[in-house]
A and B are shown apart, each in its own frame.
Chain A
């Protein structure tokens, strides 16, 4: 029964609303300008196109969720996938809704700003600090640029911030598990967008374990249920969701495409078109008289099939293989009067069979071919033959006890089988795939594991890039990245951070470390006058977040860019106002005013430098060469001028 009067009481934090509106305005206005491919859009765009055509691809740079989200945006905008992503700066056709391609990343980028506001509140700082943090994020040109295009960083940052916010909300709000669940889901999403998310996830798990550990120490509580809930929400749910992203990915992409060759035959056969078109309807079990193609199980250095042609080894029959002298040569044998008995019997071994009696199946079985006379195994040596061998890869026989199982396996792909004795008829029979179709789709788990394994192991070509940089250069913003230059004018977009707020960020990082060191030593020596639980919490989240998002790059050997630093930077923007507030509360009244004035001056200069760099952020208005020259605050920045 209704109770009257029916009253709704809401509290609206107008500052939060204002900040959100400003964020939406800075990120979303004029989103479809420039109407051209900007920087890495050229890379992600091709995957979006493949998504629209539902063609399978494998992108070794990250898990599929990010691509799925970008594709969702494109799908909502009615993109049909017909655009050639081959050049930065290429104009988009008018039929293509650029706005929809860029909308979701931009939205996520905008939502980061109110999220930071809320996160600061959850860290138990004042609304003023929260405002400061969100202002720093709001006015950072690099974050704006990175959000406004079809790129993944803003998604990653959004999910990571969301994960931390919801976890802290859970921790502060007497354990409402829906927040914890949201946190787990955000973690899964962050990891699903980019592998870098793993480090933030680990940090969050670390913080959560610390809290749980304290909980265990509280003897008044029974903790079993709580522990189990946390494990489910923060460990089980993320893993399941992460697999779910792959499930969506693989379900959507069911057609064969350019990356088929990287996958195993069984995987390829499960895709529509490609190999499955060839193998459709062919008999499953290999029999005597079958005509087959044999593909090597290793795809290194490239996928390849067992092959012979009408050309002889240049030397007469020698026992050592031509390029790998420790192995035996394998040849097609015709009696050239070399007075050797034909040694052409091979035994078929199915190494990973389930039952002793299992037969040799097309696509599904990986077989070893063991030479009967010498018990050598047929193996791809990985070396290419010289010119006389047409640069094809060498196949050798290697002694079983020396060999490693990875390069020995061969799989039947095409398979024809004819029963007729008549030569002509039999040939016709062999070329017409009229046999019974056998269901040979592999399970989702097998596909998931194979895809994940391939993504982690496929070597990325280590390429130099004009705008690549090293992690240590990021901290001081030694380099920038030119994202786009107008085809005829000087209008251009650069990834350049707001120099003032980057300076503030690095200063606050250093001063936090100094402060933390002093506090630790003081406490160790028995001074306990400053309550430090809040500052410890900030340290765990902010400095910890910076460390886990920055230090791993120092150890990576791949090509790195300035935008890899942006997630780490966001943590520092959180840190600066918190630190300021902490200092403010522990200062004497006379100093407080000075500090306030300083803070205001810094905030104003943040705004001014944001304003100054706006033309390079939004690509409009066009600047003259002199104005551009004036914006080149550092010699190492690369700002483009068009020669007139």
Chain B
């Protein structure tokens, strides 16, 4: 009962302060200076004295917050207007393909054309891009060949506009999140200012990329989570459910766009665990109540996202039903689903037989077909015999003949089946050389043996003999086409045919290395399956039964994506972006143009904004440490300080955790990294900066006495605002396009702004 009273009381005070605030703030650019003084006071002052929770100001106030935050809606409008106008300005410039638009635009087109493709990211982002393009009249015909290609008459603005609109929500969401967390309009405004005028956030929102979509879902998830938190005093109410479900939906969205979404899931997960733990400690709740809470969260935050995520894949597979460039990455069974693929409705002899012509596919992801061609290994690379490689595309050089170990003649009548344990020769159909192994080192994996093509017309030597083993099979088992996992053991040396996954140099046409591995561990790299199987003497059997179950496709496409992701290794002589580069804004990314004649866009954060964030990250731990020690030592602190400490520790901690979760994992990632990977973390960092600087400026009264401290506080806020605005004025060409001379030349628009040597504009 007491709680309810408290709520009503607070909401009325909230409402009155609303009115007051409205009078004081005309909607103008100068607004940010005005709010602080009034804002810090009212809600806290009206807290009931006896409430034990009042020590922890933050947790006592939420019900009030929801209402008080309706306050100066003018501010929110201002944020909305500025955000949209900065993102949508010059949205169609430059009218050519920029950076990764070549991938994601192309993939959007694939959806419109319903062609199957492979990408390392889950499908939702590209589906939305495709949808946006489709709705705005793009017909999917633009090839998106390479960056710099002119769009000409194609309607690309819809896809860009869609991304920009989602990107415009970022400052707005950040504003709302910080306002909910800190109950301070100043903090929220600082955050919004940083994000609105950050050239990096603008640039990354303006193109056909996954990032704006991902960032949108991440921020939406955090906002919903925070809003859900506000409803903690009205569990199971309509709003409570709404925000819970919205959180879940946003999480599904984030994960559906990129796997980076896992980090925000982790953040929400940890927060939820903490929340449940608090509930468990509330002895006024019965275990049944707690179970209800628990089940509601399971439904909202696990089952719903899972359902939505799987649904996006279901749509993905349903829409993309035509054979396309992604086929080779997937297993034979997978390919049999795709219209136009040679395995679609295929029929072939069911068991492998002597005299058959076959293709052999490696089971590692993107392992390719066993392949050979009329080229020799170069001098100095093992024996100078014909190359044997793995090749991802379908080609007549992938065809091999299955021969007996001794005689060549194929007998009349039904051919014999190849069985587990049989010793065979594999003859390359095009060049009539046998698959051959010997004790020379393989070209790249030096611990393995080289595999070559050897002999003429099928006559070779004993090094051409391979023993067929069906994995998990017994002696005498036949080899099922497409379904059996087969290993080929080299008779003479005892090694096993292996695809290392390493790319050969130019002499090997950048195909994949094939070796004979002396390590007999069963890995997909040493397992193969028979994909095509041609034998006129055997009856063809329809293999439509092969079609895999939806869950199998789902699992396989995930493994392909994960392998693909970890396969994106940095190349040795490329300049790689390192995680420590990012917070200091060390180096950006060229979105468009290199030379002084071109229209250049350079993805680089506004240095002032990023360095303010960096300062925030440095200040925050110090301030928290000071506050925590003061609390632990039991110094008598005023009401205001305790509130600040609570905001810093609780809410700031949440944001810091968000930043850490979106940043630290990159240090342990082996894959190639780019500057734009930092943007999710940067959003959290900006929100943290808002809270940190707000508390810092409000603590000026530690230094000076009241009237002066207020002046200092205002001064600090104005200085922050002006420096961000001025730096935006200086650096805006990074986002909105530069032409003419480069920055190191005096005539450039960016002359003198190359503050770090590593910036490339």
Contact = CB atoms under 8 A, between A and B. Distances in A.
B760 interface: yes
A400 B634 CA distance: 58
Contacts of B575: 404
Nearest to A523: B281
B573 interface: yes
Nearest to A380: B573
Contacts of A309: none
B573 A217 contact: no
B632 A401 contact: no
Contacts of B288: none
29 contacts: A216-B629, A216-B633, A217-B632, A217-B633, A217-B634, A219-B633, A300-B572, A301-B572, A400-B744, A401-B742, A401-B744, A401-B754, A401-B757, A401-B760, A402-B760, A404-B575, A404-B758, A405-B757, A463-B447, A464-B447, A464-B519, A521-B280, A524-B277, A524-B280, A525-B281, A525-B283, A525-B287, A555-B668, A557-B670
Interface in A522-579: 524-526, 555, 557
Interface in B723-761: 742-744, 754, 757-758, 760
Given A401-B742, A466-B519, A555-B668, A219 B277 contact: no
Interface in A353-399: 381-383
Contacts of A405: 757
Nearest to B635: A219
A243 to B, nearest CB: 23
A466 B517 CA distance: 11
Interface string A471-491: 000000000000000000000
Interface in B631-665: 632-634
Sort A-B residue pairs by CB-CB distance and give the 7 closest, nearest first. Answer: A382-B573, A217-B632, A524-B280, A401-B744, A555-B668, A524-B281, A216-B632
Interface of A: 213, 216-217, 219, 300-301, 381-383, 400-402, 404-405, 463-464, 466, 521, 524-526, 555, 557
A382 B519 CA distance: 33
Contacts of A555: 668
Contacts of A382: 572-573
Residue in A219, A401, A466 whose Cβ sees the most chain B Cβ within 10 Å: A401
Contacts, number: 41
A383 B573 CA distance: 7
A217 B760 CA distance: 52
Contacts of A213: 632
Contacts of A464: 447, 519
A466 B519 CA distance: 7
Interface in B372-419: none
Contacts of B283: 525-526
A386 B375 CA distance: 18
Contacts of B519: 464, 466
A380 to B, nearest CB: 10
Nearest to B743: A401
Nearest to B761: A401
B668 A381 contact: no
A464 B519 CA distance: 9
A213 B629 CA distance: 9
Nearest to B280: A524
Interface residues of chain A: helix, strand, loop or mixed (majority): loop
A524 B278 CA distance: 9
A526 B283 CA distance: 7
B661 to A, nearest CB: 15
Given A382-B572, A401-B742, A525-B280, A219 B634 contact: yes
Contacts of A526: 283
Interface in B6-54: none
Interface in B251-300: 277, 280-281, 283, 287
B115 to A, nearest CB: 33
A382 to B, nearest CB: 4
Given A401-B744, A525-B283, A525-B287, 6 more contacts: A213-B632, A216-B632, A383-B573, A401-B754, A463-B447, A555-B668
A401 B754 CA distance: 10
Residue in B277, B280, B573, B633 whose Cβ sees the most chain A Cβ within 10 Å: B573
B239 to A, nearest CB: 28
Nearest to B277: A524
Nearest to A213: B632
Contacts of B743: 401
A213 to B, nearest CB: 7
Contacts of B634: 217, 219
Interface string B622-634: 0000000100111
A285 to B, nearest CB: 28
Contacts of B670: 557
A525 B280 CA distance: 7
B531 to A, nearest CB: 28
Interface string B654-690: 0000000000000010100000000000000000000
A405 B586 CA distance: 13
Nearest to A404: B575
A219 B636 CA distance: 13
B35 to A, nearest CB: 36
Contacts of B287: 525
A383 B743 CA distance: 29
B591 to A, nearest CB: 17
Contacts of B757: 401, 405
Nearest to B634: A219
Contacts of B573: 381-383
Contacts of B760: 401-402
B113 to A, nearest CB: 34
B755 to A, nearest CB: 13
B294 to A, nearest CB: 12
Nearest to A552: B668
Contacts of A381: 573
A406 B357 CA distance: 54
A526 B284 CA distance: 11
A385 to B, nearest CB: 13
A28 B294 CA distance: 57
A463 B445 CA distance: 9
B368 to A, nearest CB: 21
Contacts of A216: 629, 632-633
Nearest to B587: A404
A301 B629 CA distance: 50
Contacts of A383: 573
A557 B447 CA distance: 19
A526 B287 CA distance: 13
Interface string B560-584: 0000000000001101000000000
Contacts of B632: 213, 216-217
Contacts of B629: 216
A217 B757 CA distance: 48
Contacts of A466: 519
A302 B575 CA distance: 17
B632 to A, nearest CB: 5
Contacts of A463: 447
A405 B281 CA distance: 57
A399 to B, nearest CB: 9
A526 B760 CA distance: 61
Contacts of A301: 572
A217 B633 CA distance: 5
Contacts of B281: 524-525
Nearest to A401: B744
A370 to B, nearest CB: 13
A286 B132 CA distance: 65
Nearest to A383: B573
Contacts of B280: 521, 524-525
B502 to A, nearest CB: 12
A405 B758 CA distance: 9
A217 B635 CA distance: 11
A608 to B, nearest CB: 32
Contacts of A524: 277, 280-281
A526 B282 CA distance: 9
Contacts of A557: 670
